[in-house]
Amino acid sequence: MKRRTLLISMIALLLFSSSAWAAGDESASRIRSYDSGSLIQSDGSLWLWGYNQSVPTRIEGKPDVVKTFSNIINEGDLIFTLQDHSAWYVPRNNIAKSVKFVPLEGLQNLVAVSSLNDHVLALSSEGSISSTDRLDNGNISSPFQALSGIDEVANIDSYYEKRPQYEERWIFLKKDGSVWKNTRSLQGFELVPSLKDITAISKNIALKKDGTVWTWPKEFDKNVTPSETLSVSQIQALSDIKIIKTNGSSNLAIDRQGRLWFWGETVTGYSDNTTYHNENTPVLLSEVKDVKDAFFAERSILALTTAGNVYVASLDGEKLPSNAPFTLLAKNIQSIKAGPRHVIMQKADGALWGWGVNKHAQLGIGDYEFLYSSPVPVQKPILVRLNGSPVSLSNGVITRNGQAFIPLRSVFDKLGAEIAYDFNSKIAKIDQSKAEDHPVFLEINFKTSQAKVNGKAVKLTNPPFMVNGIGYLPLRLISETLGAKVDWIQKVDTIEITTK
C-alpha cells in the first residue's frame, strides 16, 4: 500500500504542482578529492561522470574509496583503491549503461599507474613494480605480476622510442634519486648513469635537485642498438626549475620565480592537414607571471597563478612567441586536474568547474555539447534516498534553473512500477496497474510533453527532457497529506523521500 500511495503522490505532483523543488544555496563542499572524471566525498563514496553518466553519479557497492587514478588506460577509465588497500578497475569507454568493476588482483597499496601499448605498470608504496597486459579491446587483464630486478621506486613514466621501430620505454625514478630504464620489452633494467639526484621525471625529461633540467632523445638512427645507453644532456636555457610537465610532444617548466617556460611542438591545421612544428629551445612566456602550476589540454596551455587565476594560451601556430597572449579563464581556483582534452578546476569554495571538450560528457554538466570555451559548473553530486536507503541511479540528479530532475526509472523502479519506453514515438509508460485498488497508469510523450494519467490527458507545467537516452522528470515537493514527504538535506546534498 505504501508503494502504491507514494507512486500516486509522485505522479500527481510531477504533473500538477506549480512550485518546483529547488536546491537552495550552495552548501560547503563535501569533496575530499577529485580527478578529471570522478570525485570522492568525505563519506568515502565514489562519484563518476563521463560517457554514459552525464553528471556525477554515485557508485553503489564500493564504499570507503581512498584514491583514484584516471585516464591511465583509456580516456575516461578509472582505477581506484579502497581502505582495505585493494585496487579496482572501471573501464569507461564502453556502451554499457551500467558501471562495472574489475578487481585488480595482485595489487596492494597502489600509489601510481602507467600504461603504454602492451603493458600496464603499477607502483606500490613500498616501491615495488607489478605489471599486466592490455587486452585487444584496450582494457587491462588481471592479475598483476611482480617485476623482479627493479625496486625502491618512487615514480614511473613511459613513452615510445623509435629505433627505428617504435618500442616501449619505461623510466623509473628510484627513491635514492637515480633513474633506470627497461631494456627491450620488460626483460631487464639498466641504470642511466649520468642522472643523479633526480626529484621528478616526465617521460624523457628529468628534474634535478639543483633545479636543472635534463633530457634524452626519443628517436634514434637505425644503426643505434636498443641496448645503447641513453645520451643525456642538460637543457641549458633552464635553471632554478621546480616543476616540469610534458604531454610527450610539448613541454612546460616553472621556475622558482613563478615564470613559465615552453618548448616542443605547436600545431597548425586540422584532420589530415594537421602539421606539427617543433622548437627545441625553451621560450620564456612573458605574459603570465606567478605561476604555481600549468597544464596541457587539447591545443592549449593553462597556467594557474598563486593568486588563484587561470590563464589560457593557444598552441595553434608555427611557433609560440615569448609574448604569446594569455587570456583570463577563471578566478578563485585552488587546483586543476587535466584530462587529454579538458580540465576540471576546483574553486576556493570547493565547487568544481569544467572547461574544454565535452564530447563524452567529460565536464559533468548534464549534456553532450562538444566544446565549452568558457568554464561551466560541474553538476553537484546529489544523493536520493527512499525511506533511508540510497536509490541507485543510472545517471545522477540534474539541476536546471534551480530545479532538480531525476531519471525516469530511478525511484519508480524502486517502487515496483513497470516502465517501458518506445524510442520511435518517444513515449514512456509507467504501469502500476497490478495494484489491488486505484491502479495507476502514466504515459508521457517526450516529444510533445503531453501526458495521460489512467487515460486522462493532463498538462505538464514543467516538461521532461532526454539526456543520452535517459528520460528525466522534475522532482516536486511531495506533501505528507498525499502519503509521502520530500526533504532537501542541504548539509549532505541529499533528497530524502519518506513514506508515511
User: What is the predicted pLDDT for the residue at 214?
Assistant: 97
C-alpha span between 114 and 155 (Å, rounded)? 10
Q: What residues have CB less than 8 Å from 115, skipping those under 6 apart?
A: 72, 73, 121, 134, 140, 158
pLDDT over 90 at 479, yes or no: no
Q: Which three cell numbers stand for residue 443?
A: 504515459
Q: Which three cell numbers stand for residue 98?
A: 551500467
- CB 395, CB 467: distance < 8 Å: yes
Residue 53 resides in a domain: no
Residue pLDDT, tens place only, 449-473: 887 877 888 776 677 888 988 888 7
Domain boundaries, position 398: 2-23+383-499
Residue pLDDT, tens place only, 312-356: 999 999 999 999 999 999 999 999 999 999 999 999 999 999 999
User: What is the predicted pLDDT for the residue at 464?
Assistant: 82
Residue-averaged pLDDT of the chain: 86
Neighbours of 480 (CB within 10 A): 12
* Pairing assessment for the beta strands 383-386 and 494-499 based on DSSP bridges: parallel
User: What is the predicted pLDDT for the residue at 225?
Assistant: 58
Helices and strands of the chain, counted as H and E runs? 2, 45
User: What is the predicted pLDDT for the residue at 458?
Assistant: 75
Residue 395 resides in a domain: yes
- CB 106, CB 124: distance < 8 Å: no
Three-state DSSP class for residue 371: strand
Three-state DSSP class for residue 145: strand
CA nearest neighbour of 97 among 349, 379, 421, 375: 421
- CB 314, CB 340: distance < 8 Å: no
Instruction: Give per-residue burial for 270-288: e unless 16+ CB within 10 Å, then b.
Output: eeeeeeeeeeeebbebeeb
Computed over its alpha carbons, how large is the radius of gyration of the chain?
26
Over residues 69-74, the mean pLDDT reads: 81
Sheet arrangement for strand 470-474? 398-400, 403-407, 470-474, 465-467
Number of domains forming the structure of the chain: 1
Helices (H), 133-185: none
- Residue 138's alpha-carbon distances to 74, 75, 115, 131, in angstroms, are 7, 11, 11, 15
In 249-366, which ranges are E strands?
250-255, 260-268, 275-285, 291-297, 300-305, 310-314, 327-330, 333-338, 342-347, 352-357
User: What is the predicted pLDDT for the residue at 165?
Assistant: 77
Neighbours of 175 (CB within 10 A): 11
Better-scored residue on pLDDT, 92 or 252: 252
Q: What residues have CB less than 8 Å from 164, skipping those under 6 apart?
A: 220, 222
Residue 32 resides in a domain: no
Residue 392 resides in a domain: yes
**Burial (Cβ within 10 Å: 0-12, 13-18, ≥19) of residue 319:** exposed
Residue pLDDT, tens place only, 411-433: 777 767 788 888 889 898 888 76
- CB 336, CB 315: distance < 8 Å: no
**Dihedral-angle region of residue 152 (phi above 0 means left; psi in -120 to 50 means alpha; beta otherwise):** left
- Asked if residue 143 has a cis previous peptide bond (ω within 30° of 0), the answer is yes
Residue 243 resides in a domain: no
- Residue 437: which CATH number? 3.30.457.10
C-alpha span between 433 and 246 (Å, rounded)? 61
Q: What residues pair up with 473 in beta bridges, in sequence order?
A: 406
Residue 403 resides in a domain: yes
* Pairing assessment for the beta strands 450-453 and 440-445 based on DSSP bridges: antiparallel
Residue 316 resides in a domain: no
Q: Looking up cell 621556475, which residue turns up? A: 255
Over residues 35-61, the mean pLDDT reads: 93
pTM for this model (two decimals): 0.89
The torsion of the CA quartet 332, 335, 338, 344, rounded to 10 degrees, works out to -50
Q: What residues have CB less than 8 Å from 1, skipping those under 6 apart?
A: none
pLDDT over 70 at 96, yes or no: no
- CB 41, CB 26: distance < 8 Å: no
